[in-house]
Structure 1
Amino acid sequence: MILEQHYTKCLAQGAYYIASAGEAVIIDPLREVQQYIDRAAQDNVSIKYVFLTHFHADFVSGHVDLADKTGATIVLGPNAETSYAFAKAKHGQSFQVGDVTFTLLHTPGHTMESSCYLLKDEEGKEKAIFTGDTLFIGDVGRPDLAAKSDLSTEDLAGHLYDSLRNEIMPLPDDIIVYPAHGAGSACGKSMSKETYDTLGNQKKTNYALAADLSKEDFVKELTTGIAPPPGYFPKNVSMNKGVNSSIDEIIARGNTAMNAHSFKALVDDQDYLVLDVRSPQEYTAASIPGSWFIGLDGQFAPWVGALIEDIDQKIVFIAPENREEETVTRLARVGYDNTQGYLKGGITAWKEAGFETQKIENVTAQEFMDGLTNGTVSNPIDARKPGEYNSAHVENVPLYTLDDIHSNVKELKAENRYHVYCGGGYRSVIFASIAATHGINNVVNVEGGFGAIKKTNLGTQKIVETPSCSL
């Protein structure tokens, strides 16, 4: 048997390839499916099944394309309804793949169709469980994403408590838990950076599996302090229930080179968003006025989904050379299929055509802290998430979380000069780029963010820290 976790860091997402005796199964595939087809060809096996743990909200799965290209059967758990053909499995139903078997365990709670797949090896030993968003490493799935009006968030949390205790916790401690997501995903609150673990260790370390945790306390913990889900989540759920454009078609359209003059025509068209996916340093040095920065070398797709409110938005982009197709692919992973092309030659071609550029000022973390001390910095902004801010922040610096920039930018004044920082200098540049499109043009980026700030000579400034606590 071959078991591989295909982990995509920018989505914090795990897909799985398992092969045995000439057959294979793919669990929760990404939208670009050729990688799985190529892997199966390498092992000279046929893909028999595509298992979905649930209808994902944070990315568009490639299950339909993969089934069309390989003849594999799509499998989903009870309560699933789609516009494509699939096998609706019952709780406890088993599927033979070569010499190994998978048993579907219906585990409602994150969503009502949510299911886990229990793998037994060639000797019938329970080897692993693929838990989707039911059980993460260090956490469990949030219970507020299911689009079912007659169930409250509290109802779903209660279902999840029962699922964990009735279906997962009784399993042997030595089986490996393989979840669909890790740290950085918006599908949970406090996932570990580890991407798999033994069930026994999770019973010891995961608050949600504590033996003495009551259902009432579990529900309270899960339903307290949940940040609103990104706006694209419902659209991705809908797309995962239907048949979408082929990734091949999307790439063919979006990976189209445009000269500077053709690109400029679309920049001037209010229907198009100009997305700059280069590094923060390149963007701040010179960029196209009105463009948004969301760099590829960061949590690219989740921030695209969180900030570009219209999933059908027409997009043209500037990318590092030879990363144009990657850009289109990663946009499509979260359902942004309407990419129309990129600027050939990048910002150099733009300048050579004589077109205007903009620049964002950078300061070091030490310069920022010195400015707070001597009074030359008067409008500091912390753009991190509330949990990060509450854990530790510079005293008297207000939180304007990037997630809410489209509303909190209205509180900023065009005549003011602002200094913005995040955790490491990525999100602050996104903040500055979007603020500029709202007329807030004098935003200074603090390089290295809070990570660098903590290493400075604080002077008269203080870092406020809040001790963490857990159940």
Structure 2
Amino acid sequence: MKVDQIYTGCLAQGAYYIESEGEVAIIDPLREVEPYLARAEKEGAKIKYIFETHFHADFVSGHVTLSELSGAPIVYGPTANPTFDAIIAEDGQEFKLGNVVIKVLHTPGHTMESSTYLLQDESGKDYAIFSGDTLFLGDVGRPDLAQKGDITQDDLAGFLYDSLRTKIMPLANDVIVYPGHGAGSACGKNMMKETVDTLGNQKQMNYALRADMTKAEFIKEVTDGLAPPPHYFPLNVKMNKEGYDNIDTVIEKGTKALNPDEFETVANTVEALVLDVRHQNDYIKGHIPRSIFIGLAGGFAPWVGALIKDTKQPILLVTDPGMEEEAVIRLSRVGFDNTLGYLEGGFDAWKTAGKEFDAISSITAETFKSRLEQDTLHVFDVRKDSEYASEHIDNAKNASLEFINDYLSEIPKDEPFYVHCAGGYRSVIAASILKSRGFHNLIDVEGGMKAIREVGIPLTDFVCPSTLKK
């Protein structure tokens, strides 16, 4: 028996490859499925089942394409209602895979169809659970995404409490936990950085698995402090439930090379969003006016989903040479399939063609410190509210990136203002959005809070009255 976790850092997502006696099961595959097919072929094995833990909201799974190419059926837990052919398993149903068994444990709460898959080894011993978004390491799945009709988030949290205590916690402490996500995912609040653990350790470490916890306490703690889900979540659920275009079709359309004149014409004709995915340092030095920066080197896909509200938005790419297909694939992972092409020759070709370009004013933390000591500055901290609350520059205002458009009325239009984040990535995203909205009087603080600490700028650790209200 082989069990491999295929972890994708930019999505904080875990897919799984399980093999026994030449038969393979894939759990929660990514949109691009060729690696699973190639792996099975290399091992001389055949994909027998594709298991989905639930209808994912934060990414588009590869289940539909993988089923078409491999012939393997898609398996969901009870109550799932996809529009394509699938096996809707019963609670407790077992699937034979070589010499091992995968058992369905219906664990509603994150969503109503959410299921955990229990892997039993060759001897019949419980070996591991693939818990999807039911149980994370250090946390559990958020219960607010599947509210429908009379079912509230408190109802879902109550179902989750029962699922954990009747289906998962009774399992032996040495059972391995393979979760659907790790730290950085928007599907939970307090996930650990580790991606594999034992159930026994989780019973000790995970607040939601406290043995003496009442259902009322669980509901309160699990629902407290939930941030609003990103706008793209329901759109991804729809795609996972109803199907989508083959990834090869999306790549072919998205990797069409456009010279600067063609690129400009398409952008103006279809009102495409120009998305610059280079490093922030390159974007600062020069970029196409009104383009939006979200760099591949950071949390690319989640930030695309959080900031671009419509997955059908036409997109044109500015990339480093050779990174066009990577950008298209990573956009497709979160349901953005309408990429129309990329700027051939990159930004250098745009400049060489004599096209207009823009830049962002940026200063070092040392220069910023000097200016703070000499004058009262308008400073906007675009980190999350919780980051700001733990530590921030005195009199800086919090304008968290995910809600940056809600703060436009608070930002000065006629005098300089400064933006920073933790390390420099998010502040440049914010700067690109603000410049596209006509705010050209901004100055980015290079290196963000990391550099600010290093130069000794005084910080405060409580939320002051200057915090902006959404």
TM bin (shorter chain): over 0.9
Alpha-carbon offset, residue 268 of structure 1: 3.1
Structure 2 residue aligned with 1:345:
345
1-structure distance, mates of 2:139, 2:269: 45
For the residue of structure 2 that corresponds to 1:241, the secondary structure is helix
User: Are the aligned partners of 1:26 and 1:50 in contact in 2 as well (CA < 8 Å)?
Assistant: yes
Task: Name the stretch that deviates more: 411-420 or 307-316.
Answer: 411-420
2-structure distance, mates of 1:412, 1:307: 19
Can you list the C-alpha shifts for 1:369-403, whole angstroms capped at 9, x where unaligned?
A: 3322221x611001011121122222221100100
What is the identity, as a one-letter code, of the residue corresponding to 1:341?
Answer: G
For the residue of structure 2 that corresponds to 1:53, the secondary structure is coil
Evaluate the alpha carbon distance shift between residue 153 and residue 305 of structure 1 in structure 2; reply closer, same or farther with a 3 A threshold.
Answer: same
Which one of 452, 461, 464 corresponds to residue 464 of structure 1? 461
RMSD over aligned Cα, in angstroms? 1.2
Task: Name the stretch that deviates more: 114-123 or 441-450.
Answer: 441-450
Unaligned runs of 5+ in 1: 467-471
What is the identity, as a one-letter code, of the residue corresponding to 1:308?
Answer: I
2-structure distance, mates of 1:79, 1:369: 58
Structure 2 residue aligned with 1:410:
409
User: Are the aligned partners of 1:366 and 1:457 in contact in 2 as well (CA < 8 Å)?
Assistant: no
Unaligned runs of 5+ in 2: 464-470
Structure 2 residue aligned with 1:73:
73
2-structure distance, mates of 1:462, 1:245: 50
Task: Name the stretch that deviates more: 431-440 or 206-215.
Answer: 206-215
For the residue of structure 2 that corresponds to 1:268, the secondary structure is helix
Can you list the C-alpha shifts for 1:256-301, whole angstroms capped at 9, x where unaligned?
A: 1111111111233462100000000000000000100000011100
| Mapping of residues 219-238 of structure 1, within 5 Å | 219-238=219-238
* Superposition TM-score, scaled by structure 1 size: 0.96
2-structure distance, mates of 1:415, 1:45: 65
Task: Name the stretch that deviates more: 150-159 or 448-457.
Answer: 448-457
Structure 2 residue aligned with 1:469:
none
* Superposition TM-score, scaled by structure 2 size: 0.97
Alpha-carbon offset, residue 465 of structure 1: 5.5
Instruction: Confirm or deny that 1:444 pairs with 2:446.
Output: no
Structure 2 residue aligned with 1:284:
284
2-structure distance, mates of 1:323, 1:200: 43
Structure 1 residue aligned with 2:112:
112
What is the identity, as a one-letter code, of the residue corresponding to 1:396?
Answer: N
2-structure distance, mates of 1:153, 1:368: 45
Alpha-carbon offset, residue 414 of structure 1: 2.0
For the residue of structure 2 that corresponds to 1:420, the secondary structure is strand
Structure 1 residue aligned with 2:419:
420
Instruction: Confirm or deny that 1:262 pairs with 2:259.
Output: no
| Mapping of residues 146-165 of structure 1, within 5 Å | 146-165=146-165
Alpha-carbon offset, residue 317 of structure 1: 0.7
1-structure distance, mates of 2:168, 2:442: 50
Structure 2 residue aligned with 1:191:
191
1-structure distance, mates of 2:14, 2:124: 25
Alpha-carbon offset, residue 147 of structure 1: 4.5
1-structure distance, mates of 2:174, 2:129: 11
Alpha-carbon offset, residue 193 of structure 1: 1.0
2-structure distance, mates of 1:147, 1:121: 36
Alpha-carbon offset, residue 452 of structure 1: 2.0
User: Are the aligned partners of 1:109 and 1:159 in contact in 2 as well (CA < 8 Å)?
Assistant: yes
2-structure distance, mates of 1:298, 1:191: 19
User: Are the aligned partners of 2:143 and 2:223 in contact in 1 as well (CA < 8 Å)?
Assistant: yes
User: Are the aligned partners of 2:147 and 2:153 in contact in 1 as well (CA < 8 Å)?
Assistant: no
User: Are the aligned partners of 2:110 and 2:145 in contact in 1 as well (CA < 8 Å)?
Assistant: yes
